[in-house]
Amino acid sequence: MKPITSNLELLNFVIIESNLSLIQSTTDEFNHEVFKQYDLEIDFSKSKEEQTQDNELLFVVYFDVSVNCIKPLFEGYQIQARAAAAFKITDPGALSKEELNNLENISALSITISSLRNYLSTLTAFGPYGKYILPTIKVGELIKEKVKKQNQPPK
């Protein structure tokens, strides 16, 4: 089967900041199930879109993740990372408003999360507690939560 390429293109993915700390295990045998107990905090934002002369739309998705950073801390890893993913949408005028919205928000965010998941997995792969894999995230719910938070009046 021949794939149909998307109008959305990942131009670059970079790690802006990253911190990994080891939290000493209290037992001789580390149980990887503890990874499921880690507190996970996520935030993201998107730069303003920029239209190029070649009829392309450029934007950047910024993504922050904190893993096991709220007390009580669990043994294993404590991770904080900030990433940026640059995207291009070719011929945005040929897309419906819904298609464009899906590419800019859902697809771009999903690609950024997947890239960060790969980075975290690689970062921890050679650590003493083995590979940490960022859990699967409901992107639609993450976006709803972000919009809800943005619409709240300041405290």
pTM over 0.95: no
Domain 8-136: assigned CATH number:
3.10.420.10
Peptide bond into 92 cis (omega under 30): no
* Separation of alpha carbons 120 and 117, rounded Å: 5
Backbone angles phi, psi at 140, to 5 degrees: -60, -45
The pLDDT of residue 37: 93
Please write the tens of the pLDDT for every residue from 53-85: 788 999 999 999 999 999 989 999 999 999 999
Domain boundaries, the chain: 8-136
Q: Cβ neighbours of residue 9 under 8 Å, at least 6 residues apart? A: 87, 88, 89, 90
Judge whether residue 153 has pLDDT over 80. Answer: no
Please write the tens of the pLDDT for every residue from 22-33: 998 777 788 889
The pLDDT of residue 57: 92
